[in-house]
Amino acid sequence: MMSTLWGDDPSQDLIEFRKRLDEIIVTFAARNVSDLFPILAPFDLQGIESKAKEQLSWFYGVFESMIKNRRNIRDDGKEEEKISKDFMQQLLELHWRGDEKNSLSINEVKALLLDLMVAGTDTVPTAVEWAMTELLRHRDKMTKLVKELDMVVGNQNTVEDSHIPQLVYLDAVIKETLRLHPVAPLLIPHVPSETTVIGGFTVPKGCTVFINVWAIQRDPELWDDPLRFQPERFLEADINYRGNNFGFFPFGSGRRMCVGVSLAEKMMALLLGSLVHSFEWGLSEGTKPSLEDKFGIFFEENGITCCYTRCTTS
């Protein structure tokens, strides 16, 4: 994710960055009494707000240092070739445009970078962990996937981007995993701009609306035998991640759906495909991985709330 967002920066301590990301996720996931009783918020009884501010300050300090370096290179003029056209650079060019309608403030640039780091570093591994858990519980599905990988990739090669379009069963395994175990079970909440009546229910303007995609994707009226891990169901129907099927939309739907769908789709395929293709997996006799999940993160920052579940299998 760091390479994708701002390139390979040798000044960054990967271990420290990973540690800080873990800490900020734990802080955002912590139960805060001030969320239940807003009148207590000014007192910050549990110290969560002060801790979050300290962690945000650290990340923003790192981003400010990188942005300053980019600005110096830009102002130099003689080192234009050193400026990489990564995601950070695209955001900075929007900032430097100076157009009030279309430009971004520096705070918006920093917030976007942090949002993408938090959202993109733990969610993909969590989804892959769920997929491995289901495959270990269903050896016939694992065997079928191994055969496809051997046929498409070959024993002497590693899984590459070019293989992904041909790995249809791998795609079905990932989709079935996200159907049963959506990483964001309540998606990103929406706030209606006007009062609306839907199905006889009044949805007030300004309220927070959560969509329980976890329940929808396990609805027996929408899916046959919904609690069964059956990737083949996605071989029989043309269902994608674009949110146009309201029985399956783990990334949301409409204009506010997850912006990282394409990246996540490729990352999950490469990671899961590589794990299954490169290693032989098995369990001790008489054991079976648990499907118990736990609350991972549910936080609100700048009016945006996120949540996801994590598999507890080790």
Instruction: Name beta bridge partners: 7.
Output: none
Find out whether 311 is annotated in a ligand binding site.
no
Residue 87 CB neighbours (<10 A): 16
The three-point CA angle 15-127-295 to 5° equals 80
pLDDT mean across residues, the chain: 86
Q: What are phi and psi of 295, to 5 degrees?
A: -65, 125
Supply the pTM of this predicted model. Answer: 0.81
CA 103 vs. chain centroid, Å, equals: 26
pLDDT digits (tens, 9 = 90+) for 209-256: 889 999 999 999 999 999 999 999 999 888 999 999 999 999 999 888
Q: How confident is the model at residue 295 (pLDDT cuts 50, 70, 90)?
A: low
- Every domain of the chain and the residues it spans: 2-120, 122-311
Burial grade of 288 (CB within 10 A; 0-12, 13-18, 19 or more)? exposed
Selected from 1.10.630.10, 2.40.37.10, 1.10.260.40, 3.40.50.2300, the CATH number assigned to the domain covering 122-311 reads 1.10.630.10
Mean pLDDT across the stretch 267-271? 96
Q: What is the dihedral of CA 268, 271, 276, 277, to 10 degrees?
A: 120
